[in-house]
């Protein structure tokens, strides 16, 4: 593999991390508060909201991508904004894929806290902000699972990235779309090389998060 | 993410949570399995022919119009694999398929020279089109040839969408740019490389209001939806010849269905099939997509 190819692979890898990283942070910022509210409050329509989230957790990325494409395309509702074939558009699509996963796992973690814990916290007589802080601390393992699931989901998806990003060289090409492209071009060695980078990245992320999680358990 | 990674997140003291996470990880594992499962093709039957062709041929619908009759007459089941020209030729090179149907004369000639393809038979043709937005910012509709149209686009540094995928169409694009004296790897802002098939690239060109080189079939299938117009006129430099390529069966460990491939070639050259090729597309697009090639001249 020559220097130019390595440079291209590095560029694609950095872009992949940027898109997935932004989407993950956005999804956590949106998903965790919603998950906590859905998990701890009782209100009318809650079960509908929860089933919507559960359905969203299984939404195929390619369907989310199609939806975004229809909205972002020139003829679409947001056609004038110029989101199609842009990194911003890709980040939005991936955020939409990750948000239901974050909400679902957060709300499961909140729901798994037993009544005794709630009672204990209430007897402390502390303010709402502190109670929330204790809650987040208590469910941190669940939140880590949310991070793992969300990142795994968006790092490996190809449908939305292809449709919304368009796999444009030097602009919106990410690892998964590049693997698809190289495969369809019969350049299987290069596809395999990119696949190894993607696998390595996935293992690295999983490894780092597992180490954090293990150290959290022993405390 | 493995299910095991999720499972080890369980706080030991929380039995209820434990069960929940176990179910959750099982669900995630099942979901991952379902979404990643790849259906394996069934083992090849006795009289099957694996045909590798390009996406533009498949997307035109021509094979669906021609193959059922052939299958009925010959009793041969044809499995069509539609990939980019690069992948199709590579599959032929590796002996993964029985016969090829492509439109990249120079790349095909290489396989002939290497002895991998023992016979290359052109059987139909049409013309590539240079399409673009109807306001035609580079003014190429007034150009006297496709080459000067490319020159105008390069001079204006107009938006251009390149497939950049080593396909037959991309090979033609490169040779057009080379003939026009434009740098072989143009780098102006607005020169986009999709690395994708014709349909996807046309969509990108439509969204970006860019110029693009396309085969006529895929263009006609897409042009209304993407609001691009054909701005070129048929010319020698845009001629697009489709050939059927027979592989040398002695080169591969896997048996090549050569006799079935010969039968398919004979069928494509039959006058009645040639007539149907010449009429194909009339109904759907109001004009035929291909011109038949009567010549039975075989090279080499």
Residue B43 falls within a domain, yes or no?
no
Same domain for B142 and B210, yes or no, is yes
Residue B81 falls within a domain, yes or no?
yes
Structure tokens of B96? 């993964």
Q: For A7-55, how does the pLDDT look when each residue is reduced to its tens digit (9 = 90+)? A: 999 999 999 999 999 999 999 999 999 999 999 888 899 999 999 999 9
The span from the CA of B152 to the CA of B291, in Å, is 29
pLDDT band at A114 (very low <50, low <70, confident <90, very high): confident
Mean pLDDT by 10 residues, chain B (300 residues): 45 56 60 44 61 86 92 94 86 92 92 96 94 95 94 94 89 92 81 90 94 92 89 93 94 90 95 93 88 61
Structure tokens of A41? 């409050």
Residue B275 falls within a domain, yes or no?
yes
Q: Which residue in B has a C-alpha nearest to residue A168's C-alpha?
A: B194
Helix axes A3-40, A188-218, angle to 10 degrees: 40
| Residue A80 forms contact with B (CB below 8 Å) | no
Same domain for B7 and B84, yes or no, is no
Residue B148 falls within a domain, yes or no?
yes
The span from the CA of A169 to the CA of B164, in Å, is 9
Q: What is the CATH number of the domain that holds B281?
A: 3.40.190.10
Residue B251 falls within a domain, yes or no?
yes
Q: What is the pLDDT of residue B1?
A: 43
- Percent residues over pLDDT 90 in chain A: 66
Q: Which of B238, B260, B279 is the last residue of a domain?
A: B238
Q: What is the pLDDT of residue B39?
A: 35
In DSSP notation, A130-170 reads HHHHHHHHHTHHHHHHHHHHHHHHHHH--HHIIIIITT-TT
Range of the domain at B277: 48-123+242-292
Residue B22 with chain A: CB contacts under 8 Å: none
* Best B7, B9, B11, B23 residue to mutate vs chain A (most A CBs within 10 Å): B9
Q: What is the pLDDT of residue B185?
A: 75
What does the angle CA B75 – CA B81 – CA B84 come to, to the nearest 5 degrees? Answer: 150
* Best A138, A163, A167 residue to mutate vs chain B (most B CBs within 10 Å): A167
Q: Which of B223, B238, B253 is the last residue of a domain?
A: B238
User: Backbone dihedral region of B133: left (phi > 0), alpha (psi from -120 to 50 degrees) or beta?
Assistant: beta
* H or E segment to which residue B110 belongs: helix B105-113
Residue B300 falls within a domain, yes or no?
no
Tokens 């204990």 label which residue?
A: A120
Q: What is the pLDDT of residue B124?
A: 94
Range of the domain at A174: 3-218
Mean pLDDT of chain A: 91
Q: What is the CATH number of the domain that holds A88?
A: 1.10.3720.10
Same domain for B161 and B233, yes or no, is yes
* Domains contained in chain A, number: 1
Same domain for B70 and B215, yes or no, is no
How many other C-beta atoms lie within 10 A of the C-beta of residue A39?
22
User: How many CA atoms lie within 13 Å of A115's alpha carbon, on the beta-carbon side?
Assistant: 0
Same domain for B169 and B248, yes or no, is no
**How far apart, in Å, are the Cα atoms of A145 and each of A27, B5, B51, B118, B285?**
14, 8, 46, 57, 53
* Domains contained in chain B, number: 3
Closest C-alpha among B242, B198, B241, B240 to residue B223 = B198
Same domain for B163 and B94, yes or no, is no
Q: Which residue pairs, CB below 8 angstroms and at least 24 apart, start in B235-239?
A: B235/B127, B235/B145, B235/B146, B237/B145, B237/B146, B237/B147, B237/B176, B237/B179, B238/B127, B238/B128, B238/B129, B238/B130, B238/B146, B238/B172, B239/B125, B239/B127, B239/B128
Same domain for B23 and B109, yes or no, is no
Q: What is the pLDDT of residue A218?
A: 54
Chain B residues bordering chain A (beta-carbon distance below 8 Å): 1-2, 5-6, 8-11, 14, 16-17, 20-21, 24, 28, 31, 35, 83-84, 86-91, 164-167, 192-197, 200, 204, 206-208
The question of ipTM being above 0.90 is answered as no
Same domain for B65 and B156, yes or no, is no
């Amino acid at each position: 593999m020559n220097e130019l190819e390595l440079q291209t692979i590095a560029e694609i890898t950095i872009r992949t991390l940027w898109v997935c990283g932004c989407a993950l942070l956005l999804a956590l910022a949106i998903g965790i508060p919603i998950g906590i509210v859905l998990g701890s409050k009782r209100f009318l329509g809650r079960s509908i909201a929860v089933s919507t989230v559960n359905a969203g957790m299984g939404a195929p990325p390619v369907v989310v991508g199609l939806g975004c494409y229809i909205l972002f395309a020139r003829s679409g509702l947001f056609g004038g904004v110029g989101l199609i074939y842009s990194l911003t558009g890709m980040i939005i699509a991936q955020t939409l894929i990750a948000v239901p996963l974050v909400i679902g796992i957060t709300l499961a973690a909140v729901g798994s806290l037993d009544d005794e814990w709630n009672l204990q916290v209430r007897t402390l007589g502390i303010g709402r902000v502190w109670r929330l802080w204790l809650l987040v601390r208590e469910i941190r393992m669940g939140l880590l699972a949310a991070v793992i699931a969300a990142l795994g989901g968006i790092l490996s998806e190809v449908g939305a990235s292809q449709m919304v990003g368009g796999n444009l060289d030097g602009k919106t090409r990410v690892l998964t779309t590049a693997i698809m492209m190289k495969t369809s071009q019969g350049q299987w060695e290069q596809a395999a090389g990119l696949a190894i980078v993607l696998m390595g990245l996935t293992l690295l992320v999983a490894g780092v998060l597992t180490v954090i999680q293990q150290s959290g358990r022993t405390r | 993410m493995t299910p095991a990674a999720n499972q080890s997140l369980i706080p030991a003291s929380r039995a209820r949570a434990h069960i929940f996470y176990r179910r959750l990880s099982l669900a995630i594992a099942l979901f991952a399995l379902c979404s990643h499962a790849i259906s394996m093709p069934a083992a090849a039957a006795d009289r099957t022919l694996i045909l590798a062709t390009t996406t533009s041929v498949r997307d035109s619908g021509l094979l669906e119009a021609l193959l059922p009759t052939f299958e009925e007459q010959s009793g041969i089941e044809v499995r069509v694999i539609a990939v980019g020209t690069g992948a199709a030729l590579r599959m032929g090179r590796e002996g993964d398929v029985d016969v090829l149907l492509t439109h990249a004369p120079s790349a095909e000639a290489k396989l002939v020279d290497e002895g991998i393809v023992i016979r290359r038979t052109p059987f139909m043709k049409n013309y590539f089109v240079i399409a673009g937005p109807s306001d035609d910012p580079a003014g190429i509709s007034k150009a006297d040839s496709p080459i000067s149209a490319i020159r105008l686009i390069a001079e204006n540094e107009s938006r251009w969408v390149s497939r950049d995928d080593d396909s037959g169409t991309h090979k033609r694009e490169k040779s057009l740019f080379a003939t026009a004296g434009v740098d072989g790897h143009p780098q102006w802002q607005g020169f986009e490389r999709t690395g994708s098939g014709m349909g996807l690239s046309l969509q990108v060109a439509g969204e970006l209001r860019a110029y693009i080189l396309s085969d006529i079939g895929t263009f006609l299938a897409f042009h209304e939806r993407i609001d691009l117009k054909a701005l070129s006129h048929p010319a020698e430099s845009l001629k697009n010849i489709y050939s059927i390529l027979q592989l040398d069966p002695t080169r591969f460990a896997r048996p090549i269905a050569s006799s079935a491939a010969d039968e398919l070639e004979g069928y494509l050259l039959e006058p009645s099939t040639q007539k149907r090729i010449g009429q194909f597309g009339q109904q759907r697009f109001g004009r035929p997509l291909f011109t038949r090639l009567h010549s039975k001249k075989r090279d080499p």
